[in-house]
Amino acid sequence: MTVDVQNSRDYRNITLDEAGIKDLLYPVTILDREREKQRTVASISMSVELPHHFKGTHMSRFVEVLGRHDRDLDGRTIPAILNELKDALDARSARITISFPYFLEKKAPVTGVPSKMDYLCAFRGSSGPEGEDFVLSVGVPVSSLCPCSREISSYGAHNQRGRITIDVRSFQDETGVPEIVWIEELIETAEASASSPVYALLKRPDERYVTESSYDNPVFVEDMVRNASEALMEDPRLTWFQVTAESQESIHNHTAYARFEWRRET
């Protein structure tokens, strides 16, 4: 006879906010605006609330539920995964985080030479008594040139590589499925907010173009956050967003950063 130790009684009267698995590497399929779908490898964390009377949760069931949905992971399928987790593990609430590199073909600005750029993205979903939640997060490497340095220097100005991270929530339908916001759209917003995009491959004419266009478009880290936020506030699909920019300073021994959070008034 098999004993179900996880379902045995626990007498410490402590309900755990989360119990589950994390850092599971798993092949997944993500929606791609240009090619419909893209295969990548994600790092996945899943958890449920563990009632005070259960000793443990059944870790294998997390992977079983995931295995039924790995062909398509996005805002449309995550509510179903969360509901299945709650049912399979007899839990009031469930959470999932799916972090993955997303690849786009990017052409150099002058020569048009193509190369692959990777962007670190994440889906974060939760379901419980408070309702359904889904956040799309996109991290975009960018380049910025310091306006102050350009202003005070006789020639040249210091520039640096940075990252703009955009997290968004969009309106949901009655089943908790959010309106689609494409990863590519958030990448475009972030890159347009910096001095220049970052490329995986540049030839000499491209490098000259990027260098000179950055000099013509200097931005502080604060400017990048405000530029992106101004564009996102005009998107009628969004109910909430957060923009964070970090700049790995080239002449200082620190990282500069700025952040802005916005919620649509209803």
Condensed to tens digits (0 to 9), the pLDDT of residues 176-210 reads: 788 999 999 999 999 999 999 999 999 999 999 99
Please give the Cα distance from 163 to 121 (Å, whole number): 12
125: pLDDT strictly greater than 90: yes
- Percent of the chain exceeding pLDDT 90 equals 65
5-29 residue pLDDT tens? 455 555 566 878 888 999 999 999 9
All structural domains of the chain with their residue ranges: 16-263
Give the other-Cβ count within 10 Å of 53's Cβ.
Answer: 13
Please give the Cα distance from 111 to 205 (Å, whole number): 7
Please give the Cα distance from 230 to 189 (Å, whole number): 10
* Strand stretches in 33-145, DSSP E: 36-50, 94-107, 114-128, 131-145
Give pLDDT, residue 5: 46
* Strand stretches in 51-113, DSSP E: 94-107
Please give the Cα distance from 125 to 127 (Å, whole number): 7
Give pLDDT, residue 250: 82
Structure-block tokens of residue 75: 């805002």
**CB burial readout 115-138, b (16+ within 10 A) else e:** eebebebbbbbbbbeeebbbbbbb
Higher-pLDDT residue of 179 and 54 is: 179
Domain 16-263 sits in CATH 3.10.270.10: yes
145-164 residue pLDDT tens? 999 999 899 888 888 999 99
